[in-house]
């Protein structure tokens, strides 16, 4: 009994470390694209297109330098490292507690485990996500930092505002986490049953990519609402449903709800694929060494 508890504890620690490294690696590689996406998401007058994105990246680089493309990335890393660590470790725990696919296939438990995973990681790290969004759209001439965002919120008594937009985030992350982990776990299970082996690195990347783009496609409109709430681009009294209706009425379905989504067709599979692949590789190595 004590041995089993010790083994589970070691696996949890391994999952935390592997998840942290996986998230940091994936997000760093796509940071310029992420900043561009946030800029167009919160803008109510800039028309999104791939050409506009490339122009934005090029102009930002020419006017303010390469490092500016990573503005807010320190906040991103400070958020994504605990987020990814909590996400993957809690998924291991929820799957264990819910006995997902232990004696038989349990797709609903698989989905619930992913949903609880998304809710847990999002709520714990939401203020850091708000700070990153604020930094990403701040004036490039002002060298604002993560500490400045929190200090400014504290001075003005606005710390709770860093949780503005948390509702659409939680509403979005429940299905996002559920669909992402459900898809990846289902692909993993299907692969093992038909090949008799675990997925290799390339297959983990492909499974993660499919999981990422599927979950993003379904929950993207809530991400638009979240970003605009975080950066005060919506009326303060505006709720989630009202925000969705307002954006749809003023900007339309494609240019409003799915503004910037075409970038996600490249960024999301890449981010998710790298994250799942890195996590599975590191976790397997950590567990093997601890045995």
Q: Tell me which DSSP letter residue 30 carries.
A: T
- Asked whether 101 and 44 are in contact (CB, 8 A), the reply is no
Most confidently predicted of 37-46, 121-130, 227-236, 241-250: 241-250
Query: Sign of the CA dihedral 200, 202, 206, 208?
Result: positive
- Asked whether 93 and 181 are in contact (CB, 8 A), the reply is no
Q: What is the pLDDT of residue 163?
A: 82
Res 86 pLDDT > 80: yes
Res 204 pLDDT > 90: yes
Q: What is the pLDDT of residue 109?
A: 95
What does residue 198 show for φ and ψ, rounded to 5 degrees?
Answer: -75, 160
Q: Tens of pLDDT along 173-198?
A: 888 899 999 999 999 999 999 999 99
Q: What is the mean pLDDT of residues 31-38?
A: 76
Residue 228 pLDDT level (bands cut at 50, 70, 90): confident
Three-state secondary structure call for residue 184: helix
Residue 141 pLDDT level (bands cut at 50, 70, 90): low
Residue 235 to residues 77, 168, 181, Cα–Cα distance (Å): 29, 15, 34
Q: What is the mean pLDDT of residues 279-290?
A: 88
Res 41 pLDDT > 70: no
Q: What is the pLDDT of residue 142?
A: 63
Which distant-in-sequence residues (6+ apart) come within 8 Å of 202 by Cβ?
A: 277
What does residue 71 show for φ and ψ, rounded to 5 degrees?
Answer: -65, 130
- Asked whether 286 and 221 are in contact (CB, 8 A), the reply is no
Diameter over CA atoms, the chain: 62
Q: What is the pLDDT of residue 44?
A: 62
CA angle 233, 164, 137 (to 5 degrees): 45
Res 61 pLDDT > 90: no
Alpha helices in 137-197 (DSSP H): 146-155, 166-195
Res 224 pLDDT > 70: yes
């Amino acid at each position: 009994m004590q041995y089993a508890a010790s083994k589970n504890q070691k696996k949890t620690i391994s999952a935390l470390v592997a998840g942290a490294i996986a998230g940091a690696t994936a997000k760093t590689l796509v940071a310029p694209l992420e900043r561009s996406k946030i800029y167009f998401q919160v803008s109510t007058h800039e028309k999104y297109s791939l050409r506009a994105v490339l122009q934005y990246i090029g102009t930002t680089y020419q006017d303010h330098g390469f490092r500016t493309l990573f503005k807010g990335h320190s906040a991103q890393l400070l958020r994504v490292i605990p987020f990814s660590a909590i996400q993957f470790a809690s998924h291991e725990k929820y799957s264990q507690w819910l006995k997902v696919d232990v004696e038989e296939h349990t797709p609903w438990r698989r989905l619930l485990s992913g949903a609880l995973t998304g809710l847990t990681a999002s709520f714990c790290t939401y203020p850091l996500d708000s700070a990153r969004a604020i930094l990403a759209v701040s004036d490039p001439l002002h060298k604002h930092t993560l500490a400045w965002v929190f200090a400014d919120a504290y001075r003005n008594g606005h710390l709770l505002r860093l949780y503005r937009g948390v509702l659409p985030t939680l509403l979005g992350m429940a299905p996002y986490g559920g669909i992402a982990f459900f898809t990846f776990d289902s692909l993993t299970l299907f692969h093992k049953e038909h090949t008799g082996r675990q997925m290799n690195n390339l297959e983990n990347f492909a499974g993660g990519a499919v999981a990422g783009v599927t979950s993003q496609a379904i929950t993207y409109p809530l991400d638009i609402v979240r970003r605009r709430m975080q950066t005060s681009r919506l009326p303060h009294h505006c709720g989630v449903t009202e925000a969705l209706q307002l954006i749809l009425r003023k900007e339309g379905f494609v240019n409003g709800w799915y503004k910037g989504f075409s970038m996600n067709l490249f960024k999301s599979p890449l981010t998710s694929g790298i994250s799942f692949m890195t996590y599975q590789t590191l976790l397997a190595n950590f567990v093997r060494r601890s045995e």
